[in-house]
């Protein structure tokens, strides 16, 4: 019989649903020492959070997140609220000895992130940040190929995260569903929202970034704020492009925007090494493209590997269906929960920890500072 881990969920939006699905599914597919129990869900609107709790199987609800954290029957707090609330909740939860699974970006800026790291380390509580793309099997396999030394010296790392949902001038900013456009709630625009994912994966696959040179743009300068009805200046970055040097000597090129007409959520990455290259595309997330210069000349070309094999060949896939049947976006969260529960059983950290996620935040802050000052920034 698995030991229960009682979850207190804060927020019932996009991530509240993605994580609830993961908690519900994980024990059906992974044999682990711990099993999550959906103890309580919290949000401010009682009817809405009750409907969410009923739908996903939470035993109870709270409308004040402090009341949720204070409960003795909650072991772990899951922070699925806008970025400006992450720090306050994490500090409060750490002080009360709760484990914390926090959404990304870890915080509004590095100063907040530092406080959060100190709090969880002082309290000695398990912590992790939901940079879920690491746990898409094809991306995990990219890391395995790199660790096996197949690429040789790395020359280039490039990543894009392109969307097109904020092009309309009459789209309001702020409040429910649109807090991402309000710097007071989000901290930044595409840098913290989208590039943070690209940066986390890059640091994981290719090591530390030494310095950055960025440009940002806010294409629509004023929008009506949903909560006040007033037209206000837009202070988030709508688009951001940056160059960087990695510590391993390779060059990085990153681009993100919400103004790339035709792209819904195109996250792509490519790594070019002296012996081989790797390419991945979120729209085809179960495939890893791989080019190996050692292949026989006349057959040499990009392979498209369907990352669904069993027998330990393809990460995580032994837990799912049969080879050839792919899994999707939501499974990256199931894998994160499985790894978190496994790390608890082993008494090990579950990466990315708050401290790991702080490294991504440092790059995000340096990118924004570089764009503002029009100058290279060291990390």
Ligand X SMILES: NC(=O)c1ccc[n+]([C@@H]2O[C@H](COP(=O)([O-])OP(=O)(O)OC[C@H]3O[C@@H](n4cnc5c(N)ncnc54)[C@H](O)[C@@H]3O)[C@@H](O)[C@H]2O)c1
Residue 264 contacts ligand X per CB under 6 A: no
Task: Tell me the window of 37-45, 108-116, 142-150, 251-259 that interacts with ligand X (CB under 6 A).
Answer: 37-45
Q: Which is nearer to ligand X, 65 or 157 (CB)?
A: 65
Q: Least distance from C-beta 19 to ligand X, angstroms?
A: 9
Give strand pairing partners of 243. 213, 253
Render the burial of 144-153: b for 16+ CB within 10 Å, e for the rest: ebbeeeebee
Residue 236 contacts ligand X per CB under 6 A: no
Q: Least distance from C-beta 342 to ligand X, angstroms?
A: 20
Among 5, 53, 76, 80, binds ligand X (CB under 6 A): 80
Among 7, 12, 61, 279, binds ligand X (CB under 6 A): 12
Task: Tell me the window of 25-33, 36-44, 154-162, 271-279 that interacts with ligand X (CB under 6 A).
Answer: 36-44
Among 51, 67, 177, 375, binds ligand X (CB under 6 A): 177
Residue 103 contacts ligand X per CB under 6 A: yes
Which residue of the chain is nearest ligand X when measured via CB?
A: 13
Among 5, 7, 9, 15, binds ligand X (CB under 6 A): 15
Please give the backbone phi and psi of residue 209, each rounded to the nearest 5 degrees, phi first: -100, 135
Q: Which is nearer to ligand X, 14 or 302 (CB)?
A: 14
Say how many residues touch ligand X, by CB under 6 A: 23
Among 8, 36, 82, 252, binds ligand X (CB under 6 A): 82
Contact assessment for residue 40 and residue 9, using Cβ atoms and an 8 Å cutoff: yes
Say which residues have a Cβ less than 8 Å from residue 295's Cβ, sequence separation at least 6. Answer: 301
Residue 130 contacts ligand X per CB under 6 A: yes
Q: Which is nearer to ligand X, 162 or 276 (CB)?
A: 162
Contact assessment for residue 18 and residue 104, using Cβ atoms and an 8 Å cutoff: no
Strands (E) in the chain, as ranges, are 3-10, 34-42, 60-62, 76-79, 99-102, 127-129, 154-162, 209-217, 222-224, 231-233, 239-246, 251-257, 266-273, 276-281, 287-292, 303-306, 377-378
Binders of ligand X among residues 316 to 355 (CB under 6 A) are: none
Say which residues have a Cβ less than 8 Å from residue 205's Cβ, sequence separation at least 6. Answer: 139, 142, 143, 146, 157, 269, 271
Q: Which is nearer to ligand X, 14 or 165 (CB)?
A: 14
Residue 104 contacts ligand X per CB under 6 A: yes
H or E segment and range at residue 175: none
Among 5, 7, 9, 10, binds ligand X (CB under 6 A): 10
Say which residues have a Cβ less than 8 Å from residue 335's Cβ, sequence separation at least 6. Answer: 135, 137, 316
What are the respective helix, strand and coil percentages of the chain, to the nearest 5? 40, 25, 35
Residue 172 contacts ligand X per CB under 6 A: no
Per DSSP, the three-state class of 347 is coil
Binders of ligand X among residues 132 to 161 (CB under 6 A) are: 132
Q: Least distance from C-beta 12 to ligand X, angstroms?
A: 4
Task: Tell me the window of 33-41, 74-82, 252-260, 354-362 that interacts with ligand X (CB under 6 A).
Answer: 74-82
Among 26, 40, 43, 366, binds ligand X (CB under 6 A): 43
- Crossing angle of the two packed helices 110-123 and 86-95, in degrees rounded to 10: 10
194 vs 102, 330, 362, CA distance in Å? 16, 17, 15
Contact assessment for residue 116 and residue 105, using Cβ atoms and an 8 Å cutoff: no
Q: Which is nearer to ligand X, 51 or 177 (CB)?
A: 177
Residue 257 contacts ligand X per CB under 6 A: no
Contact assessment for residue 113 and residue 357, using Cβ atoms and an 8 Å cutoff: yes
Please report, as ranges, the residues that interact with ligand X according to CB under 6 A.
Answer: 10-16, 42-44, 65, 80-83, 85, 103-104, 130, 132, 177, 179, 193
């Amino acid at each position: 019989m698995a030991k229960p881990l009682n979850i207190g969920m804060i927020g019932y939006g996009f991530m509240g649903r993605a994580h609830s699905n993961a908690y519900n599914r994980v024990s059906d597919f992974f044999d682990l020492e711990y099993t999550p129990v959906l103890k309580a869900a919290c949000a401010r609107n009682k009817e809405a959070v009750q409907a969410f709790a009923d739908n996903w199987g939470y035993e109870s609800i709270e409308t004040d997140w402090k009341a949720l954290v204070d409960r003795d029957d909650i072991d772990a707090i899951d922070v699925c609220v806008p970025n400006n609330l992450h720090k306050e909740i994490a500090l409060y939860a750490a002080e009360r000895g709760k484990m914390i699974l926090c959404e990304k970006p870890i915080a509004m800026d590095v100063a907040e992130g530092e406080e959060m790291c100190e709090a969880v380390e002082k309290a000695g509580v398990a912590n992790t940040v939901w940079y879920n793309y690491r746990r898409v099997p094809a991306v995990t396999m990219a890391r395995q190929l790199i660790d096996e030394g197949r690429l040789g010296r790395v020359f280039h790392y490039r990543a894009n995260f392109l969307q097109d949902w904020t092009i309309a001038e009459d789209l309001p900013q702020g409040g429910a569903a649109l807090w991402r456009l309000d710097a007071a709630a989000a901290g930044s625009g595409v840098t913290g929202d989208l590039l943070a994912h690209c940066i986390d994966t890059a640091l994981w696959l290719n090591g530390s970034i030494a310095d950055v040179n960025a440009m940002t743009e806010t294409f629509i300068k004023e929008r009506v704020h949903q909560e006040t009805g007033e037209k206000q200046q837009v202070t988030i970055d709508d688009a951001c492009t940056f160059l960087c040097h990695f510590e391993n000597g390779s060059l990085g090129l990153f681009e993100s925007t919400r103004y790339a007409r035709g792209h819904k959520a195109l996250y792509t990455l490519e790594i070019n090494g002296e012996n081989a290259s790797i390419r991945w595309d979120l729209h085809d997330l179960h495939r890893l493209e791989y080019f190996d210069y050692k292949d026989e000349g006349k057959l040499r070309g990009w392979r498209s590997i369907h990352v669904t094999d069993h027998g330990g060949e393809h990460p995580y896939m032994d837990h799912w269906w049969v080879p050839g049947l792919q899994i999707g976006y939501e499974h990256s969260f199931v894998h994160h929960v499985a790894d978190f529960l496994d790390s608890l059983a082993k008494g090990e950290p579950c990466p990315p920890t708050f401290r790991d996620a702080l490294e991504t935040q440092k790059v995000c802050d340096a990118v924004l500072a570089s764009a503002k000052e029009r100058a290279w920034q060291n990390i």
